[in-house]
Structure 1
Amino acid sequence: MSEDRWNTVLVLGGIRSGKSGFAESLVAGAPSVRYVATAAGGEDDPEWQSRIEAHQRRRPQSWSTEEVSGDPVLLTELLLSAGGDETLLVDDMGGWVAGVLDPARQPNDDEADVKNLAAAVRGTAARVVIVSPEVGLSLVPLTPVGRAFADALGTTNQELASACDAVALVVAGQPTWLKGSAAPFSVTPPEEPTVVMSRPIAMATPTAPAPPPPPAQPPVEPVVEEFEPATVVVPVTAPEPPPSAALSESTMMLPLVASGLTEIKPGMDLPLPSSDAGPDARERLAGLDLPGGGLGALSEAIEFAAATQNTTTPRAWSAVRLVVIAGSRAGGAVAGTDTADVDRRIAEAERGEGLLGRLAAQAGADVSVLRTAPVGAMEHGPVTDEAAVETALRDGWKLADAAADAGRDVIVLAGIGAGVEAAATAVLAATTGSEPVATLPRVLVPGARFDDSAWMTRCAAIRDALHRIRQEPRGATDILRQIGGLDVAVATGLLLGAAARRMPVLVDGPLGLAAGLVARDLASQTRHWCLLPEAGTLALVKQGADVLGLTPVLETGLDLGEGANALAVLPLLRTAISLASAAPVHPALLGEVGDDGLDSSPAAPEDVDDEGPDLDFNTSAFNALNYREPGA
């Protein structure tokens, strides 16, 4: 048994229960994972293929995939041959049972296959997480094939539950341990837990959301924050301040009780958006009374809003907070940068002026600016230390808490800083193996002129930094400490905190994508709370979005800078979401003239016979199992 007292875990759950996401979180901190896929068939079923592709996009690039769908014995052999330093994620046992019951294998001792699998689970030296559907709570299937499958899967689950160290049941995304418990994978033994507390951050008290601005846009009242490194470290067992005292403090002084933060580490279990509301909202669009082809690419934003709000008729975001994170670096990463011009743009954002201020005023958004401490040159050594990274992560989490406590319903993440493009390129290369020279943006100087000499200097700095860390650990905090910097760390913490508070984030530009890549290795759920409103022109952003599985809503070619692209298209996104929620069903799809489509007791269809109503089964899963009726 491993040092955190588990080697094998069985994760049970119904369809769309979040069981796979929870299982993935248990192994997210492993250096490498072998994803063992059991699904067979379904090549002609687009819906089934889309499910498989969604799982594939969610996996980190460091994971490998192994197919065992051809023969159920392959899984047993794989478990017995796996080494003690390996981590396996088997998803799921429904496909394995389907292979066991395949008529092509009959006659066969199916019970012996199940017993041998359970024995392999007991005897494996590797860490293993097994995902399996829980079908025992549904109706008894009406067909012999369905009943055979349910019985075989139930028997298999019982055998595996007996063999595993821990068993969890996931319902509506919430896990409950039925046997033992399992902490997420950790590479090193956990140290004595501590809570790092920051000095108070000066921040104006947030006001209630303002009504839509009049045509003459008033200046935005900015919320200005100052970043300071942590100065006090106290044990986690220290007594917490009483609630009455805590609630009387300013927003940024509040303890992190709202989101339950205790320690930021790989394998964090954060909420997921609704897995049903988004697809249901997209399907609903097909029946709306809209002319022509409907809302087109804007359907992506509608589906995202529906999933994050857990409703098929989402409301448009009305209380927006623009969070601007300003960082600075040294060395080759800032070659060609006019630091005075960067400081000018940061100061404009703090005053609610400039491009970001004007766009924020048009969107009715307030502005929060946080300056991070300068960091070193990535080519010479780590850009910051571990304590500063931990503090920056927590400060970012607090920014998300502050937005949620102020009643905001969406965050637009922006960055202004020297060398952020180089840092984001280095993070992308270190986490995905991409080629920096293919993704590093060119250096544009005033006058629409490119400084290619500065671009080559930045490339050399990234090359030297990647060579320096070639044998170093590549964990999330290691990447931030070595090459990412404090602004990327704050943005990462904000994404984590936003997911914990179930708040959507509109990412835009290199900083948001770099933070998304790092946050994915701390909690895989974070990317599901992120939307890329506009692709922009940077290959860095497009490739990072592809790795994260983020589909840009629009590709208009905007290149206004971080945060500005998202704010520029935000009014269109809000219009589409409002229109999709308010539009009625097309009259041609209604049962009769005057029907509003909401009648809860429609007349029975004429083809229903006396033996009972017809049942509308979703047969996609059974098609994928390649079942054949006996004698067929």
Structure 2
Amino acid sequence: MSVDGWNTLLVLGGIRSGKSEFAESVVADAPTVRYVATAPEGDPDDTEWATRLAAHRARRPGSWTTEETAADPGRLAEVIATAGPNETLLVDDLGGWVTVLLDPAHQPADDTATIAELAAAVRASAARLVLVSPEVGLSLVPTTPLGRAFTDALGAANRAVAEACDAVALVVAGQTAWLKPAAAPTTVPAQTAPTQGGLAQAGPGQAGAPELAASAGARPVTGVPDEALPEVLTPTAPPAPAPAPATAAPAADWAAPTMALPMVATGLVIQPGMELPMPDDYTGPQAVDRLATLDIPGAGLGVLERVVGFAGATQGTATPAPWHSVRVLLLHGDHEGGASAGATPGESARRARQARAGRGPLARLAAENGAGLQVVEAPTSAPIEDGPALSGEQVESALRYGWRLAEQAADAGVQLLVLAACGAGTETAAAAVLAATAGAEPPAVLGRVITEHGEFDDAAWMVRCAAVRDALHRTRRSAREAKDVLAELGGGDVAVATGVLLGATARRVPVLLDGPVGVAAGMVSRDLAGQARHWCLLPDHGGRPGVRLAADVLGLTPLVDLRLDLGEGATALAALPLLRSALALAAGLPVHPSLGGGDDEDFTEPEPAGPGPTSTGPEPDFTEPEPAGPGPTSTEPQPAGPGFTGTEPAGPGSTGPAPDFTEPEPAGPGPTTIEPDEPVAPGRRAD
């Protein structure tokens, strides 16, 4: 119930400006609204004030509920902070709240701390929230100490709440001016459908969180450049002639509304227990059930039925379309120390440069699939056996950075993301994350090390196992929460990948996982938003033990068993044409004729290319033309009986009855009848 996808809105205005009416119109289409009244009842003899309160109550629909906070000003922050994700709150107004806050009955009180507590609750609000407040910036300075204290406190509250809110509107003489974001609509848009998880939804084409991120002024952190995102490359297939390069397809009709999360001054807030959207529970099974009605021979699509169900659920339709606009996110971030034992120095950087230049397996496969390629530089991770891989601030920045990458893709109309990685030591870091989150033993989830010459390096494998073992021992008393795992063990690429999964989930963009980094991010994302794994599809486990374990924990069943070892992301792109083919068949095949589909009797057999009869049906009066020369007209034996004289001669004078059908003569010598392959045994009837 928010304006243009913003989750929290502050409405400012002067006396009788229409600010309350505007705020009420914003949430008018919400199924239920909790109206939080902050003003005290006032003097019982003040009939004018009582009339104002009665007018406010009369405007509220019967489905709204009213909650009073005048008895305790600190309770307002508690109401906002504890509101559920599916609730809509309208707070009217902060002027009454400040009046109660400065009431001598509540003194002494720390007004500054109470205002900061309110702003923090607004930032973290999971509910849709609209607050109304008088704007005092244009007023005269009161002449009384209490009046000056009121204007100062209300001004401080307005500034703090405006900074915490996603959008701010100023109502003057009934006209709305948008102060935040700068480029806002001039009218209130139609209300969107209720959201899952309490996050505001914006339809396609509406403003999204990238503009919020820009206006929020996210500060950069060393290791992840918040100020810019990498260029999206469009690899081209080298063979000629090549198909026309695929262009970014416009958002399909089935594209679901997008999501936006609360923003703060330092950027996006990513915290445990976020409520993000889930795929449609009904359209996925409906898409699979629909396959049984199609004109498909045999047993159907087999395991690819899961692809149809996944696409149907993520697209929100029983007839999902193939993914046309695809983007590959290649995360490049090395891990120092024992995690990268056996890796060739500089090899991962060479692979990243190769991908940027449109060369290498990943870029070639992306070109064949018409997919864009974005090479993402993640911060280098410190040795996990000695200390944390990243600082807490770097983890926060990496998560926001990955989220912004997913948002950028969604804004560009991307329908499917492919998550890949090419850093040194990535499999070791992923194994450490799996050991910490799934309780696995490092040797059981860490694959063998293969050198650049294709040989196994078991000595390097033992070094990697030892690094994971030492890291787990070092962190044995540390918390196993998502951000702690990323900081201590996961490192930069896993943190960015986790942000990508969360951002893609918020924007309803499915993700193909391929390799240890993607599944490790899926394991970490469970604590931040359990819905993320439902937007992921795993084409192949690649023979990696860690990927197998994570797939079992996440409930992801690999579709194929190609076991390509061309780097993360290559298997997903190799399987993508197969997945698209399954969706194309499911969307394009008609319903079986027995269930009301097309009528096969309307089908006309095409004319044969060479000479021959135009009809294959028998004609009862058809007579084979007589042969040109003398000879029998039929070699079929005639039944013995009176008047039988053998084969009647052809031509005039024949006295035998003419049969309705005469067998044509064979092209060459030999009998025209085919004898049985084996003699018929006594007592057995020949077929």
TM-score using structure 2 length: 0.52
C-alpha distance in structure 1 between counterparts of 2:194 and 2:427, whole Å: 39
SS in structure 1 at match of 2:519: helix
Distance change >3 Å, CA 488–CA 591, structure 1 → 2: closer
Distance change >3 Å, CA 591–CA 509, structure 1 → 2: closer
- Which runs of 5 or more residues in structure 1 are unaligned? 1-170, 178-193, 224-255, 597-632
Q: Which amino acid aligns with 1:419?
A: G
Q: Does 2:367 match 1:361?
A: yes
Q: Does 2:538 match 1:532?
A: yes
C-alpha distance in structure 2 between counterparts of 1:415 and 1:378, whole Å: 19
Distance change >3 Å, CA 563–CA 415, structure 1 → 2: same
C-alpha distance in structure 1 between counterparts of 2:345 and 2:236, whole Å: 36
Spell out, residue by residue over 1:81-139, the C-alpha distance to the aligned partner (whole angstroms, 9 max, x if none): xxxxxxxxxxxxxxxxxxxxxxxxxxxxxxxxxxxxxxxxxxxxxxxxxxxxxxxxxxx
Structure 1 counterpart of 2:156 = none
Distance change >3 Å, CA 414–CA 221, structure 1 → 2: farther
- Which runs of 5 or more residues in structure 2 are unaligned? 1-192, 200-215, 249-257, 603-687
Which range moves more in the overlay, 417-426 or 342-351? 342-351
C-alpha distance in structure 2 between counterparts of 1:174 and 1:205, whole Å: 32
Q: Does 2:424 match 1:402?
A: no
Structure 2 counterpart of 1:181 = none
1:585, distance to aligned residue in structure 2 (A):
1.4
Structure 1 counterpart of 2:272 = 266
Q: Which amino acid aligns with 1:498?
A: A
C-alpha distance in structure 2 between counterparts of 1:306 and 1:370, whole Å: 30
1:265, distance to aligned residue in structure 2 (A):
0.5
Higher gyration radius (CA):
2
Structure 2 counterpart of 1:328 = 334
C-alpha distance in structure 1 between counterparts of 2:240 and 2:286, whole Å: 37
Match of 2:572 among 566, 569, 587: 566
Spell out, residue by residue over 1:458-484, the C-alpha distance to the aligned partner (whole angstroms, 9 max, x if none): 000100101111111010000000010
Match of 1:374 among 371, 374, 380: 380
Matches within 5 A, 1:221-620: 258=260, 260=262, 262-590=268-596, 593=599
SS in structure 2 at match of 1:445: coil
SS in structure 2 at match of 1:197: coil
C-alpha distance in structure 2 between counterparts of 1:281 and 1:475, whole Å: 37
Structure 1 counterpart of 2:7 = none
C-alpha distance in structure 2 between counterparts of 1:361 and 1:298, whole Å: 24
C-alpha distance in structure 2 between counterparts of 1:218 and 1:339, whole Å: 37
1:197, distance to aligned residue in structure 2 (A):
2.9
1:220, distance to aligned residue in structure 2 (A):
8.8
1:538, distance to aligned residue in structure 2 (A):
0.7
Q: Which amino acid aligns with 2:538?
A: L
1:294, distance to aligned residue in structure 2 (A):
0.9
Mapped contact 2:514–2:568 kept (Cα < 8 A): yes
C-alpha distance in structure 1 between counterparts of 2:553 and 2:446, whole Å: 16
SS in structure 1 at match of 2:487: helix
C-alpha distance in structure 2 between counterparts of 1:213 and 1:574, whole Å: 22
C-alpha distance in structure 2 between counterparts of 1:358 and 1:172, whole Å: 42
Distance change >3 Å, CA 317–CA 486, structure 1 → 2: same
Q: Which amino acid aligns with 1:525?
A: Q
SS in structure 1 at match of 2:288: helix
C-alpha distance in structure 2 between counterparts of 1:580 and 1:430, whole Å: 41
C-alpha distance in structure 2 between counterparts of 1:494 and 1:515, whole Å: 9
1:374, distance to aligned residue in structure 2 (A):
1.5
Which range moves more in the overlay, 278-287 or 455-464? 278-287
Distance change >3 Å, CA 220–CA 371, structure 1 → 2: farther
1:426, distance to aligned residue in structure 2 (A):
0.5
Match of 2:196 among 168, 174, 180: 174
Q: Which amino acid aligns with 2:579?
A: L
Spell out, residue by residue over 1:584-628, the C-alpha distance to the aligned partner (whole angstroms, 9 max, x if none): 1122233895799xxxxxxxxxxxxxxxxxxxxxxxxxxxxxxxx
Structure 2 counterpart of 1:197 = 219
Spell out, residue by residue over 1:276-306, the C-alpha distance to the aligned partner (whole angstroms, 9 max, x if none): 1111111111221111111111111111111
Mapped contact 1:206–1:406 kept (Cα < 8 A): no
Mapped contact 2:486–2:494 kept (Cα < 8 A): yes
SS in structure 2 at match of 1:367: strand
**CA RMSD, 1 decimal:** 3.1
C-alpha distance in structure 1 between counterparts of 2:473 and 2:333, whole Å: 24
Mapped contact 1:222–1:366 kept (Cα < 8 A): no
C-alpha distance in structure 2 between counterparts of 1:206 and 1:560, whole Å: 22
TM-score using structure 1 length: 0.56
Q: Which amino acid aligns with 1:367?
A: L
Matches within 5 A, 1:113-192: 174=196
Count of aligned positions: 377
C-alpha distance in structure 2 between counterparts of 1:433 and 1:341, whole Å: 31
C-alpha distance in structure 1 between counterparts of 2:339 and 2:247, whole Å: 29
1:195, distance to aligned residue in structure 2 (A):
7.8
1:559, distance to aligned residue in structure 2 (A):
2.5
% same residue: 51
Mapped contact 1:532–1:550 kept (Cα < 8 A): yes
